[in-house]
C-alpha cells in the first residue's frame, strides 16, 4: 500500500480495447519511462486498483501520466466504487485531463465492428446511484465530453489508422454486466443513441466533479442486439486480442498532441461547467 499519491497532470483509463496488453510499455512507439508501477492507494471508497505512473517522453519528465486498467473493475468491488477509487486518486494527483477507452456495441446501422467513435454526448441508463466523491458542486453536463480532448483523439486516430473514425455520437450507458436485449436496443435506437457501453458513466460525472477535462475513444466491437445481424463471439474475441496495439498507439499519439501540439490550443469550457452548489 502506498501512502502518498504522486502528482500527475493527466489520467488514462484503460478499458477492454487495451486489456490484453501492458499499456504503455508493450507498445513499440513508447519512448518514455515507467516511473512507478503497482501503486495501490487507500481511498475513502476502499483500496484502489493498481496504477502505473509514467512519462511519455524521457526528455520532458514534467509530463506525468497515471493509468489503470479496465476502468478499475475487479471482482468483489462494485463498479461504482471502482470508479470512485480511481477518481479520488486522480483528484489527489491533481489530474486535469482524462483520456478513456473502451469497447462498444453499434446501435447506429452505419457503424461496423472496428470503427472508432469519439462521442460528444451520452445517456445514462445505469442504475448506479453512488456516482459522487461527496464534493458539493453543481455539475453542468453540457459539453460533458471535452471538445478539446475529442479533437486530439480524432486527430490521433486519423493519423494512425485508415479506420472510419467518427468525431461525434451519442453513447448510451447501461448497467451490465450482461449485454442488452433486442427490445432495449430498439428503444435506445429510437432515442437516437449511436453506441452502447457500460463505462462512460459515472466517469463523465466524476471528471466534472474533480474539475478535469474528459473524453473517451471507443472501438466498435460488435453490433448491438437486433442491429444489422447477429454478432459472432469469434469476431469479438479477435477484436479483443488483436486491436489492442492500435488503440494503445492512438492513446500515446493523443498524449503527444496533448503536450506538444500548440496548434491544438485548449478551447473548452469544462472548468466553467462546475459551479458552487446553492444548497448550503
In the complex, which residues of this chain contact Zn ion (CB under 5 A)?
A: 146, 148, 213, 268, 270
d(CA 7, CA 78) in angstroms, rounded, equals 26
C-beta of residue 63 within 8 angstroms of C-beta of residue 55: yes
> Which DSSP helix (H) or strand (E) runs through 17?
none
Rg of the chain over Cα atoms, rounded to whole angstroms, equals 18
Beta-sheet strands, E only, within 65-136: 65-68, 97-106, 116-117, 121-125
Q: Which three cell numbers stand for residue 132?
A: 459522487
**CB closer to Zn ion out of 64 and 148:** 148
d(CA 214, CA 138) in angstroms, rounded, equals 17
**CB closer to Zn ion out of 86 and 99:** 99
In the complex, the smallest distance separating the C-beta of residue 159 from Zn ion, rounded to whole angstroms, is 21
In the complex, the smallest distance separating the C-beta of residue 152 from Zn ion, rounded to whole angstroms, is 10
> Which DSSP helix (H) or strand (E) runs through 139?
strand 137-139
**CB closer to Zn ion out of 73 and 205:** 205
**CB closer to Zn ion out of 107 and 212:** 212
In the complex, the smallest distance separating the C-beta of residue 242 from Zn ion, rounded to whole angstroms, is 32
In the complex, the smallest distance separating the C-beta of residue 263 from Zn ion, rounded to whole angstroms, is 17
In the complex, the smallest distance separating the C-beta of residue 76 from Zn ion, rounded to whole angstroms, is 34
**CB closer to Zn ion out of 120 and 148:** 148
C-beta of residue 61 within 8 angstroms of C-beta of residue 176: no
Amino acid at each position: 500500500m502506498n501512502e502518498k499519491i504522486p502528482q500527475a497532470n493527466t489520467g488514462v483509463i484503460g478499458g477492454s480495447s487495451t486489456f490484453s496488453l501492458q499499456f504503455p510499455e508493450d507498445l513499440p512507439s513508447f519512448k518514455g519511462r515507467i516511473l512507478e508501477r503497482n501503486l495501490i492507494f487507500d481511498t475513502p471508497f476502499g483500496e484502489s486498483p493498481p496504477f502505473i505512473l509514467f512519462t511519455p517522453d524521457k526528455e520532458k519528465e514534467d509530463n506525468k501520466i497515471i493509468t489503470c486498467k479496465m476502468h478499475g473493475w475487479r471482482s468483489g468491488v462494485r463498479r461504482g466504487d471502482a470508479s470512485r477509487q480511481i477518481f479520488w486518486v486522480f483528484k489527489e494527483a491533481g489530474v486535469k485531463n482524462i483520456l478513456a477507452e473502451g469497447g462498444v456495441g453499434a446501435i447506429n446501422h452505419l457503424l461496423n465492428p472496428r470503427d472508432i467513435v469519439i462521442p460528444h454526448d451520452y445517456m445514462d441508463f445505469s442504475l448506479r446511484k453512488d456516482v459522487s466523491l461527496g464534493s458539493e458542486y453543481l455539475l453542468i453536463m453540457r459539453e460533458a465530453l471535452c471538445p478539446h480532448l475529442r479533437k486530439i483523439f480524432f486527430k490521433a486516430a486519423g493519423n494512425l489508422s485508415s479506420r472510419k473514425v467518427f468525431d461525434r455520437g451519442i453513447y448510451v450507458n447501461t448497467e451490465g454486466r450482461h449485454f442488452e436485449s433486442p427490445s432495449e436496443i430498439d428503444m435506445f435506437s429510437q432515442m437516437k443513441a449511436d453506441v452502447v457501453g457500460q463505462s462512460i458513466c459515472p466517469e463523465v460525472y466524476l471528471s466534472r466533479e474533480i474539475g478535469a477535462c474528459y473524453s473517451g475513444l471507443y472501438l466498435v466491437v460488435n453490433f448491438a442486439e437486433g442491429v444489422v445481424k447477429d454478432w459472432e463471439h469469434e469476431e469479438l474475441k479477435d477484436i479483443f486480442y488483436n486491436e489492442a496495439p492500435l488503440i494503445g498507439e492512438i492513446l500515446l499519439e493523443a498524449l503527444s498532441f496533448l503536450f506538444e501540439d500548440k496548434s491544438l490550443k485548449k478551447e473548452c469550457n469544462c472548468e466553467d461547467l462546475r459551479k458552487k452548489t446553492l444548497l448550503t
